[in-house]
């Protein structure tokens, strides 16, 4: 008797792995991407359709501005950085029950701001500030322990988001609208600087991997100038030197647009995972120029910079990033399906409609509602598609378990 190698395919297609708490809290992007996107969907619908429900100390437009910047955009940034930090350093900054506790603080903050009364606001503010302090501390520890010098400044940017958050909340209690808006804009620019840093690092890398033969520059040197101008703009804004802040902001925006052109946007037109990022980076660059014009005293409504940077920039970039990075870290193929592409189109539509709603026309209210609907559909599609993946182990781990079974079977050897 001799043996031959026999391969038996599984009789049935393997079922998806069951949800696992350990998998869900494995890395920061899993709970924080879902939480941030859900909150963005819910809070915009609440703001547009039921603003009378906002009865907390942080109410009305102040609540909306705060939750969009720190409750949505900064939350996604924290999830990304806690995940990217593991790649940069080889040490996962936060996982398991500590990560769950961080998310618990985030939930307490979101609920507390909606509840009426000073005690609820105080609890929410404390939880919110502790969230950013803890996230920045965990990331900073991973960077310091591994002596990852290239990223020493990244935890400080996350800490700056928490600091501007605290200043905004303090100004809200004081009832000082002028100071409040200055702190909001400082937080917006802190987030812009962090976004520019992240996008400039990952976009050329993603593009070169996805498009064969594409050669684009990383713009490391111009990126350093760009970040320097951004930090100057933040410092001057906080110091009340608006003209210098405007010039620094304009320089940062011009550099962003030059980078965008040099990254050959036409070459990525057939790759949705890339063109959505390019669209968001373009919106961010234009938004920085709009913000510079507003600071310089040109006739630009106060709401324009926040919405161009926040909706056309941050939100479009975020939807692309939470798709691309989640697919990669979940062990999934880096390809979009129809629902993902539709969500991209809806988010861009939501941004365009929101900006159109800022124009003083009779269609303002209808445009605002249409924008909120497109926004909710875009984020709803993302949650519908990615929630089942986020709560389960990596796809490649499940694939190993479902690999074909190899058996050694005896066979008769002919005589002679």
Assigned domain for 120 exists: yes
Assigned domain for 280 exists: no
Report which of 88, 64, 71, 78 is spatially closest to residue 28, judged by C-alpha positions.
78
Whether residue 102 contacts residue 25, with contact meaning beta carbons closer than 8 Å, is answered with no
Assigned domain for 130 exists: yes
Nearest-10 Cα torsion for 206, 390, 97, 33:
60
Report which of 164, 41, 155 is spatially closest to residue 94, judged by C-alpha positions.
155
Assigned domain for 314 exists: no
Assigned domain for 245 exists: no
d(Cα 256, Cα 73) in Å, to the nearest integer?
Answer: 20
Q: Which two tokens stand for residue 412?
A: 């008769």
Side-chain-side CA neighbours of residue 118 (13 Å)? 3
The residue length of the chain stands at 416
Assigned domain for 66 exists: yes
d(Cα 215, Cα 211) in Å, to the nearest integer?
Answer: 9
pLDDT computed for residue 99 by the predictor: 98
Whether residue 214 contacts residue 264, with contact meaning beta carbons closer than 8 Å, is answered with yes
pLDDT computed for residue 12 by the predictor: 57
The DSSP code for 330 is: T
| Count of domains forming the chain | 1
Report which of 299, 280, 221 is spatially closest to residue 255, judged by C-alpha positions.
221
How many other C-beta atoms can be found within 10 angstroms of the C-beta atom of residue 373?
17
Whether residue 219 contacts residue 200, with contact meaning beta carbons closer than 8 Å, is answered with yes
Q: Which two tokens stand for residue 74?
A: 């900064």
Q: Is 409 helix (H, G, I), strand (E, B) or coil?
A: strand
* Domain span including residue 169: 20-175
Model pTM greater than 0.85?
Answer: yes
d(Cα 243, Cα 249) in Å, to the nearest integer?
Answer: 10
Residue pLDDT tens, the chain, 416 long:
455 444 455 445 567 789 999 999 999 999 999 999 999 999 999 999 999 999 999 988 999 999 999 999 999 999 999 999 999 999 999 999 999 999 999 999 999 999 999 999 999 999 999 999 999 999 999 999 999 998 999 999 999 999 999 999 999 999 888 899 999 999 999 999 999 999 999 999 999 999 999 999 999 999 999 999 999 999 999 998 999 999 999 999 999 999 999 999 999 999 999 999 999 999 999 999 999 999 998 877 889 999 999 999 999 999 999 999 999 999 999 999 999 999 999 999 999 999 999 998 999 999 999 999 999 999 999 999 999 999 999 988 755 554 444 444 444 444 44
Whether residue 36 contacts residue 72, with contact meaning beta carbons closer than 8 Å, is answered with yes
Assigned domain for 84 exists: yes
**Please, is 241 exposed, middle or buried when counting C-beta atoms within 10 Å of its C-beta (0-12, 13-18, 19+)?**
middle
Nearby residues of 352 by Cβ (< 8 Å), 6 or more positions away: 312
pLDDT computed for residue 398 by the predictor: 52
Assigned domain for 40 exists: yes
Report which of 335, 346, 193 is spatially closest to residue 274, judged by C-alpha positions.
335
């Amino acid at each position: 008797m001799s043996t031959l190698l026999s391969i038996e395919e599984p009789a049935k297609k393997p079922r998806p792995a069951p949800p696992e708490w350990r998998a869900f809290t494995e890395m920061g992007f899993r709970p924080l991407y879902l939480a941030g996107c859900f909150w963005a969907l819910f809070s915009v619908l609440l703001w547009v359709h039921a603003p009378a429900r906002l009865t907390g100390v942080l109410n009305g437009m102040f609540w909306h501005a705060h939750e969009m910047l720190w409750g949505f955009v900064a939350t996604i940034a924290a999830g990304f950085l806690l995940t990217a930090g593991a790649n940069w350093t080889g040490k996962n900054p936060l996982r398991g029950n500590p990560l769950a506790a961080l998310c618990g603080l985030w939930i307490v903050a979101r609920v507390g701001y909606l509840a009426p009364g000073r005690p609820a606001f105080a609890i929410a503010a404390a939880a919110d500030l502790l969230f950013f302090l803890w996230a920045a501390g965990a990331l900073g520890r991973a960077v310091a322990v591994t002596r990852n010098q290239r990223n020493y400044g990244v935890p400080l940017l996350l800490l700056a988001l928490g600091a501007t958050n605290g200043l905004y909340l303090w100004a809200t209690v004081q009832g000082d609208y002028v100071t409040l808006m200055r702190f909001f804009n400082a937080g917006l620019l802190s987030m812009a600087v962090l976004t520019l840093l992240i996008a400039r690092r990952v976009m050329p890398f993603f593009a070169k991997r996805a498009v064969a033969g594409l050669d684009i520059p990383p713009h490391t040197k111009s990126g350093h100038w760009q970040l320097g101008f951004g930090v100057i703009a933040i410092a001057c804004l906080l110091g009340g030197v608006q003209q210098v802040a405007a010039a620094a902001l304009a320089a940062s925006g011009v550099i962003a647009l030059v980078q965008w052109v040099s990254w050959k946007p036409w070459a990525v037109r057939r790759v949705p995972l890339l063109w959505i990022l390019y669209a968001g980076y373009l919106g961010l660059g234009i938004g920085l120029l709009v913000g510079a014009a507003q600071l310089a005293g040109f006739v630009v409504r106060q709401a324009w910079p926040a919405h161009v940077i926040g909706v056309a920039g941050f939100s479009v970039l975020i939807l692309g990033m939470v798709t691309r990075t989640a697919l990669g870290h979940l062990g999934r193929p880096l390809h979009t399906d129809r629902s993902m592409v539709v969500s991209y189109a809806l988010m861009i539509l939501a941004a365009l409609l929101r900006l159109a709603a800022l124009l003083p026309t009779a269609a303002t209210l209808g445009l605002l509602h249409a924008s909120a609907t497109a926004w909710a559909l875009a984020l709803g599609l993302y949650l519908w598609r990615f929630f089942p993946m986020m709560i389960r182990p990596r796809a490649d781990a499940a694939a190993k378990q479902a690999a074909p079974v190899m058996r050694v079977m005896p066979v008769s050897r002919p005589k002679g």
